[in-house]
């Protein structure tokens, strides 16, 4: 069975880029899907979508030509299994602080004997004639001091594919306050630790871009799974820029 886009990129040593989807709109999800992005990350933790929106949003993303991951609200096997049943190519689990939590997430995504997922696929998750599961990606987030201290063991956990740094929460944990630059030296050093652990254990390191120039830093650090922005952010930035420009034009006409 073919690998998903994240697995293919990891095999080839190249990065993939994704975008957060926080707005529960099928039209918006389809637009994101056809943007050329590698994957769209449906955010059930902090976005406004809920579990009832997931199936239609995944279908819209696929219609646009991309693939969907789902960030669940916690390391809850039921939420993870449900996202997989609905067709996500992977699940992002926040606030993973121990290898036991990482193992719980990885095993919830996979059928026995290597996992504990209950069989009940609603969409493309299993091919009985081939006896194999559809490809999927387990992403765990490092966002706490405990998680950072345990990052080597977390990266070593079987079934974990990507270790993703949550820069805002990790920055808060590091005592940096609400830092939305993503480039504080103390945070950068923590990200280096995560990248090093991933390299030791053959996993993909991931980062969240908080500003337009962040991807360069993340790539230079060795991260190969990178989010670029969000649908809500792009809407806000786009209209704010147009409004500002319109007001400038109006002022120049009035003053002229």
- How many Å apart are CA 213 and CA 218, to the nearest integer? 9
* pLDDT tops 90 at residue 194: yes
What is the count of structural domains for the chain?
1
Question: Among candidates 55, 228, 33, 121, which has minimal Cα distance to 219?
Answer: 228
Give catalytic residue positions.
46
pLDDT of 126 reads: 54
The pLDDT of residue 131: 54
Residue 175 — very low, low, confident or very high, per pLDDT cuts 50/70/90?
very high
More confident residue, 256 or 207: 207
Report the phi/psi class of residue 21: left, alpha or beta, with left for phi > 0 and alpha for psi in -120 to 50: beta
Q: Return the bridge partners of 70, or none.
A: 42, 91
- 186: which 2 tokens? 């103390």
Q: Please check whether residue 244 lies inside any domain of the structure.
A: no
- HSE, CB side, 13 Å, CA atoms: give it for residue 93: 33
d(CA 48, CA 29): 13
The pLDDT of 91-113, averaged and rounded, is 95
For the cut 70, the answer to whether the pLDDT of residue 250 exceeds it is yes
For the segment 91-103, the average pLDDT, to the nearest whole number, is: 98
Q: What is the CATH number of the domain that holds 108?
A: 3.20.20.60
Residue 127 has phi, psi (to 5 degrees) of: -120, 95
pLDDT of residue 228: 95
Read off the tokens for 236: 């806000």
In a domain, 240, yes or no: no
* pLDDT number for residue 130: 56
Residue 123 lies in a domain: yes
Structure tokens at 43: 């955010």
- When pLDDT is averaged across residues 134-163 and rounded to a whole number, the result is 95
pLDDT for the residue numbered 48: 92
Average pLDDT over residues 187-196: 98
Given a cut of 90, whether residue 35 has pLDDT beyond it is yes
Given a contact cutoff of 8 angstroms between Cβ atoms, the answer to whether 170 and 148 are in contact is: yes
Measure Cα distances from 92 to 46, 190, 232 in Å: 13, 20, 19
Joined together, the tokens standing for residue 50 give 């809920």
Query: Whole-model pTM?
Result: 0.92
The residues pairing with 208 across neighbouring beta strands, listed in sequence order, are 227
pLDDT at 31: 96
* % of the chain surpassing 70 pLDDT: 94
Higher-pLDDT residue of 192 and 113 is 192
- Confidence band for 256, pLDDT divided at 50, 70 and 90: low
Q: Is residue 256 part of a domain?
A: no
- Residue 146: closest CA among 204, 182, 186, 190: 190
**Is residue 61 domain-resident?**
yes
- Among 109, 4, 106, 91, which residue's Cα sits nearest to residue 45? 91
In a domain, 63, yes or no: yes
Q: 1 pLDDT band (50/70/90 cuts)? A: very low
Q: How many residues in the chain?
A: 256
pLDDT, position 123? 74
- Predicted confidence at residue 3, as pLDDT, reads 66
Q: Is the model's pLDDT at 128 over the cut of 70?
A: no
Residue 131 within a domain: yes
Where residue 135 falls among pLDDT bands split at 50, 70, 90? confident
CB neighbours (10 Å) of residue 108? 26
Structural domain including 26 reads 5-231
Look over the chain and give the mean of its residue pLDDT values, rounded to a whole number.
92
Pairing of strands 162-165, 137-142: parallel
Among 218, 163, 146, CA closest to 187? 218
């Amino acid at each position: 069975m073919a690998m998903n886009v994240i697995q293919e990129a990891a095999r080839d040593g190249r990065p993939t880029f994704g975008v957060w989807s926080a707005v529960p709109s099928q039209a918006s999800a389809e637009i994101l899907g056809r943007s050329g992005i590698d994957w769209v990350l449906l955010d059930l933790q902090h976005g406004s979508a809920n579990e009832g929106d997931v199936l239609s949003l995944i279908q819209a993303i696929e219609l646009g030509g991309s693939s969907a991951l789902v960030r669940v609200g916690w390391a809850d096997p039921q939420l993870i299994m449900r996202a997989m049943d609905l067709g996500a190519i992977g699940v992002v689990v926040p606030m993973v602080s121990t290898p036991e939590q990482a193992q719980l997430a990885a095993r919830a995504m996979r059928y026995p004997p290597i996992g504990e997922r209950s069989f009940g696929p609603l969409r493309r998750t299993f091919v009985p004639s081939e006896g194999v599961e559809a490809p999927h990606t387990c992403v765990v987030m490092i966002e706490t001091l405990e998680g950072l201290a345990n990052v080597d063991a977390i990266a070593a956990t079987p079934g974990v594919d990507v270790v993703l740094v949550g820069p805002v929460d990790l920055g808060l944990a590091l005592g940096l306050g609400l830092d939305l630059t993503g480039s504080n030296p103390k945070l950068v050093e923590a990200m280096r630790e995560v990248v090093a652990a991933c390299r030791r254990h053959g996993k993909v390191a991931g980062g969240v871009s908080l500003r337009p120039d962040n991807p360069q830093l993340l790539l230079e650090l060795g991260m190969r799974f990178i989010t670029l922005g969000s649908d809500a952010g792009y809407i806000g930035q786009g209209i704010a820029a147009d409004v500002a420009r319109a007001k400038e034009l109006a002022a120049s006409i009035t003053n002229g």
